Amino acid sequence: MERVAGWFYDGRRFREGTIGWEDDVIVEVRNGRARNPIATGLIIPGLWNAHTHLGDAVVTQELTGTLEELVAPPHGLKHRILARAKDDAVIAAMRRAMATMLRTGTTGFTDFREGGLKGLKLLYAAVAPMPLRGVALGRPMGLDYDAREVSAILQTSDGIAVSSYVDWPGDEIRKLAAHVRREKKIFAVHCSERIREDIDKVLALSPSFLVHMLQATDADLNRCADAGVPIVVCPRSNAFFGMTPDIPRMIRSGVELRLGTDNAMINVPSILREIEFAYRVARMHGGVPARDIFEMALHGRQVADRHTSGAIRVGEQADLVVFDLPGGLNGFASLMRASASDVSLVVSGGRMWPSRSTTTPRTARRRRT
């Protein structure tokens, strides 16, 4: 069994103790510090990036222009670049983004993957060697419903995610969403980012979650809360286009919030950076406790595992992040200021990152000489 020790998150607060895991499961949580832990510090469950477009990482140029000019399908800059990018370049860019996620304490992500079946294939190729859980949501090539295409995408993905309700003809998106529901997979959609959309029509699609909801009214947010449909907010992405989510208002509505980094060409997919920015943006609208922002960065995991407690407990997946940061009662505040250099160990599905095996060849080389 491997063990880490320090101040760990028990679902309500930070408490001092030792966490042990075998294979990919936490098997020991106890008070008191073990004698030889492999790392010590502030320990949290692996963070979950609830909204990415990792393929965009292939776009490296400085970005200018509006939301539509950069990301809207089918002619936005990202779609033009992705259409002509070489497969190997897209895979390498996505893998680099995944390494960034791991280094910054993220052990799982939910990706909106463009490019139909082929787009999914590239994502799987990128994630294969990485100790990361990815929820892959594919997207049809066009803005119309083709039953055969949708069946094929659903066979090789966790579901389907599309740009927005208003981009699609109403009948077509209703058929698409109904098909995804029949297959019991995830259907997700961006909503009310640039303009307010009709929330009743969007919720009638039975989405698993919505992304953005910047232009939502209080009534729209209440409708989401009543329907039990979570909202993923991506404050850095919004700020890039001159907007900010009113996180305190969203929390007051009772809707469940999750945190995502959105387009990888706009924001490096570090949830730590998103946490820091979300906390600041929330203060612009009155502020929320640090713990609320932290919870937003954990709850995205429920898309993959509905019954997860979001706490470090026996029986949970061995996804742990150890920070070299002050613990105790100030653990939540410490996390609002955390950066990649504060991460001393990431355990994802029981596998360690950086991988301990990477030191072996160097040692072996040294011995030979």
Helix (H) or strand (E) holding 208: none
**56 or 220: whose CB is closer to Zn ion?**
56
CB under 5 A: which stretch of 7-15, 120-128, 192-200, 257-265 binds Zn ion? 257-265
We find the least distance from the C-beta atom of residue 211 to Zn ion, in angstroms, to be: 6
Q: How far is the CB of 326 from Zn ion (least distance, A)?
A: 34
Among the candidate windows 120-128, 150-158, 255-263, 304-312, which touches Zn ion by CB under 5 A?
A: 255-263
Interacting residues with Zn ion between 168 and 227 (CB under 5 A) = none
Angle between helix 170-182 and helix 147-155 axes, rounded to 10 deg: 40
Nearest distance in Å: CB 167, Zn ion? 12
Gap between the Cα atoms of 43 and 45, Å rounded: 7
Tokens of 168: 């699609």
Q: Which residue type, as a one-letter code, is found at position 336? A: M
* Closer to Zn ion by Cβ: residue 262 or 274: 262
**Smallest separation, CB 235 to Zn ion (Å):** 13
**Minimum distance of Zn ion from residue 75's CB (angstroms):** 17
Specify the pairing of strand 186-191 against strand 159-164: parallel
Under the binding rule (CB under 5 A), the answer on residue 256 touching Zn ion is no
Tell me how far apart the alpha carbons of residues 344 and 321 are, in angstroms, rounded to a whole number: 8
Cβ proximity to Zn ion, 177 vs 189, nearer residue = 189
Q: Which is nearer to Zn ion, 262 or 342 (CB)?
A: 262
Cα separation, 351 vs 357, in Å, equals 11
Q: Are 108 and 347 in contact (CB under 8 A)?
A: no
User: Using alpha carbons only, what angle is made at residue 312 by residues 311 and 318, rounded to the nearest 5 degrees?
Assistant: 120
> Which residues are within 8 A (CB) of 150 and not within 5 positions of it... i.e. 6 or more apart?
140, 160, 176, 179, 180
Distance CA 145, CA 140 (A): 8
Give the H/E segment covering residue 343: strand 343-348
- 262 touches Zn ion (CB under 5 A): yes
C-beta of residue 33 within 8 angstroms of C-beta of residue 40: yes
Q: Which span sits near Zn ion by CB under 5 A: 133-141, 259-267, 308-316, 350-358? A: 259-267
Nearer to Zn ion, 197 or 262 (CB): 262
Smallest distance, Zn ion to C-beta of residue 232, A: 9
Q: According to the binding rule CB under 5 A, does residue 316 interact with Zn ion?
A: no
Stretch that binds Zn ion, among 27-35, 196-204, 241-249, 254-262 (CB under 5 A): 254-262
Residue nearest to Zn ion (CB): 262
| Footprint on this chain of Zn ion (rule: CB under 5 A) | 262
